Amino acid sequence: MAVAIRPWARDLLYCWFHVLGPADWFGGGDDVDAFLKDRFARWLIPLGTQPAESFLNDPATARAAILLFDQLPRNLFRDNPRAYRWDPLALAITHGAVRNGWHRTLSRDEAQFVLMPLMHSEAIADQRLSLRLFMRYAPGSLPFARSHHRMIARFGRYPHRNEVLCRDSTPAEKRAVAAGFSW
């Protein structure tokens, strides 16, 4: 029996991949943030309390949930700890989607966003998996996956998050951020 995609998920996937594009995804800005806030902010908190398994009934809902919990907070809560609040949920959904093999049939654009929580993770095991999967399914983003992996391999965390998360930075971390390792 086929599972129907939820309306919020259909709308988010359409907006992300057909209204917005790479310049919006990675360049962002106030207009993109306002658009996403207006359309989708109302879903973030109520859906963000559900377990990952509730988004793993179909591939499209999983893709949309990953966007909702990984990408949207980064747009809606720039320079705020809430930007990372839903990372564990997005990561759990990504792991479920990968276990189900759903990343294998996606376009490269879609695959990169399904895999992105692995890149955003501060766990080295996720970073290693990120490298393997980006190499095969979203090779255009592999240089970014490699640079993220290097930061976690070196520091065990992302130094550019330290200030907003009230973590002390080491001198080496400060140098890394000053050198441009802040995404």
User: Tokens 């963000």 correspond to what residue?
Assistant: 48
The amino acid sitting at 1 is: M
Tell me whether residue 31 is in a domain. yes
**What number of CA atoms fall less than 13 Å from residue 92's CA on the CB side?**
13
Confidence (pLDDT) at 10:
97
Confidence (pLDDT) at 2:
60
d(CA 169, CA 151): 13
Tell me whether residue 86 is in a domain. yes
Taking only the tens place, the pLDDT of each residue in 87-123 is 999 999 999 999 999 999 999 999 999 999 999 999 9
Whole-prediction pTM value?
0.94
Q: CA of 136: how far to CAs of 4, 31, 43, 96, in Å?
A: 29, 33, 32, 18
Which parts of the chain have pLDDT scores under 50? Answer: none
Q: Which CATH number covers residue 25?
A: 1.25.40.10
Give the SS3 label for residue 171.
Answer: helix
Structural domain that includes position 85? 7-178
CB atoms within 10 A of CB 115: 26
Number of domains into which the chain is organized: 1
Confidence (pLDDT) at 117:
98
Confidence (pLDDT) at 180:
82
